[in-house]
Amino acid sequence: MFLKTDQTYLRALEPADLDFLYSLENDTSVWHVGNTLTPYSKFVLEQYLENAALDIYTVKQLRLIICNSKSQPIGAIDLYDFDPLHRRAGIGIVITADHRGNGHASDALELLLNYCQNTLKLHQVYCSVTATNLPSIHLFIKAGFTQVGVRKEWFLTSDGWEDVVEMQQLLNNK
């Protein structure tokens, strides 16, 4: 398996991931960073899983499950807004609360960046992170991203408006 470190690996979605995705997508504590306010039904997620095997060039996105060394699903990492013409994509990542701070997000991001550069031959990747999400900002900076802007009062949360930090990394290919 080429998307693997000693403690973390990435794999394609499986039908057996339905319950895990259901809990991940319906975790209200991360809704504000995912730009959603509505729960997902199992039916909608079943349909999503049926189409998940479609090629990234067709659906313009890719979701991989992040697993620990015990093969437990502990998160997901996404490529979205995939643009093959301009060779770029956005990246999103979520780790379940009980597995944060153990290096899995860093491993998953490194694995995905290698995949983007060496397999998809992308020129750049980018992400949007809420300004108060300091662990995620640190994660992306550590992985080589630079801040390229701030969208002021971009997300409305229960605590008021929140800024979003825009980050980008140019990959080393031509």
| pLDDT tens per residue across span 74-108 | 999 999 999 999 999 999 999 999 999 999 999 99
| pLDDT at residue 49 in the model | 72
In order, the DSSP letters of 9-35 are EEEE--GGGHHHHHHHHT-GGGHHHHT
Q: Which residues of the chain have pLDDT under 50?
A: none
**Distance from C-alpha of 112 to C-alpha of 128, rounded to nearest angstrom:** 16
Domain range annotation of the chain: 8-170
Domain range 8-170, CATH class: alpha beta
Q: What are phi and psi of 125, to 5 degrees?
A: -135, 155
Q: Are β-strands 146-157 and 124-130 bridged in parallel, bridged antiparallel, or unpaired?
A: unpaired
Q: Tell me the whole-structure pTM to 2 decimals.
A: 0.89
What pLDDT shows up at residue 43?
A: 76
